[in-house]
Amino acid sequence: MQILATISDMARLGIVLDLESGATKTIPVRSEFIDSTVEGRAPCRPFGITWIRDELFIANNRQLLVFDKQLQYLRTLRTPLQINTHQLAYHATRVWAVSPWTNSLIGVDPSSGVSALEFDLFDQNIRQYIPRDASEADDKLHFNSLLWADDHLFVGAHAFGKTSFINRYNWATLRLDGVYSAGSAIHGLACHNEELFWISSNTREIRSSLGYSLPLFKQGYARGFAMTREHFIVATSEFLSRDERCGGDSWIHVIDREHQKLVCEFHLPDTGSINDLRLLDEYDYAHHLDPFSRP
């Protein structure tokens, strides 16, 4: 199995880790990925990952970057996103980005790069997306994760120290039809056999909608989550203040779901914080798309 994790060290956009051999390769940061107009955050901050058959997308502040099957950079889509864009997911011909500062999802058509919609997570209205400068002060609940699965759209909210929650929207109507209480500072969503899973980062555990709870095996900040039939894959980074997150180490844990045992740990020195990860070559219940590559 191979994962792609987006990292924060300002030299590498991402790292590909083979979970069997431990071998790694990287996607380098290019000069055009660095935005000197970003204030209060890293000028290059890769986060969400998704794909279509032949192209892979990575969110980086306002940019939606496009890569080929060999993870070589192709172009940047013309629609500007928002600073602090989080997870991505592809659904119904669009790349959808969670935008915490606008409390919405932004959906970009990758074939044109300019035809974009916006789904307001509060009023549940969908409209044309108008690029603009939002601010951190506009971030009400820090929506950060999304998943299209089982005829629903699930969106997770960190909630800034209050109890985190996950909104469930009807796939066809985009009307809110359920809310899950979810722990503290959640990140990542997965769904298998109608059971929803996520990471409760502040309490360092995997939880589920059916009451499952598994303590994680590492101190630090867990963010980055994939799930197969047999395994959870979890990224944990050193717990650092925002201005220090370009440094420090991270770890990837592969956990046996049935026996709740740690299968293996990979130490990734000097990556800075891991922001997100996707499983590239096996079906991932945290993504619900066909794999981007094959073993």
Say which CATH number the domain at 209 has. Answer: 2.130.10.10
> Beta-carbon neighbour count of residue 54 at 10 Å?
9
Q: How do residues 131-169 score in pLDDT, each as one tens digit?
A: 999 999 999 999 999 999 989 999 999 999 899 999 999
- Rounded mean pLDDT, 94-101: 97
8 lies in a domain?
Answer: yes
pLDDT for 239 equals 81
pLDDT for 185 equals 93
Cα dist. 89→55, 95, 295 in Å?
13, 6, 22
**Taking Cα atoms as reference points, which of 269, 271, 292, 289 lies closest to residue 280?**
292
288 lies in a domain?
Answer: no
- Rounded mean pLDDT, 184-193: 96
pLDDT for 244 equals 77
Q: How do residues 211-256 score in pLDDT, each as one tens digit?
A: 999 999 999 999 999 999 999 999 999 987 777 778 899 999 999 9
214 lies in a domain?
Answer: yes
Averaged confidence pLDDT in the chain: 95
Contact 1, 19 (CB under 8 A): yes
284 lies in a domain?
Answer: no
Q: How confident is the model at residue 17 (pLDDT cuts 50, 70, 90)?
A: very high
Q: Which two tokens stand for residue 20?
A: 């069997």
Q: How confident is the model at residue 295 (pLDDT cuts 50, 70, 90)?
A: low
What is the domain extent for residue 81?
A: 2-279
Instruction: Give, as one character, the DSSP assignment of residue 282.
Output: S
Contact 157, 142 (CB under 8 A): yes
290 lies in a domain?
Answer: no
Q: How confident is the model at residue 294 (pLDDT cuts 50, 70, 90)?
A: confident
Q: How do residues 242-251 score in pLDDT, each as one tens digit?
A: 777 788 999 9
232 alpha carbon, distance to own chain's centre: 15
pLDDT for 261 equals 97
286 lies in a domain?
Answer: no
pLDDT for 112 equals 81
- How many domains would you assign to the chain? 1
Instruction: Name the helix (H) or strand (E) containing 289.
Output: none
156 lies in a domain?
Answer: yes
Q: How do residues 32-70 score in pLDDT, each as one tens digit?
A: 999 999 988 899 999 999 999 999 999 999 999 999 999
Q: How confident is the model at residue 87 (pLDDT cuts 50, 70, 90)?
A: very high
> Beta-carbon neighbour count of residue 38 at 10 Å?
15
139 lies in a domain?
Answer: yes
Q: Which two tokens stand for residue 14?
A: 């991402």
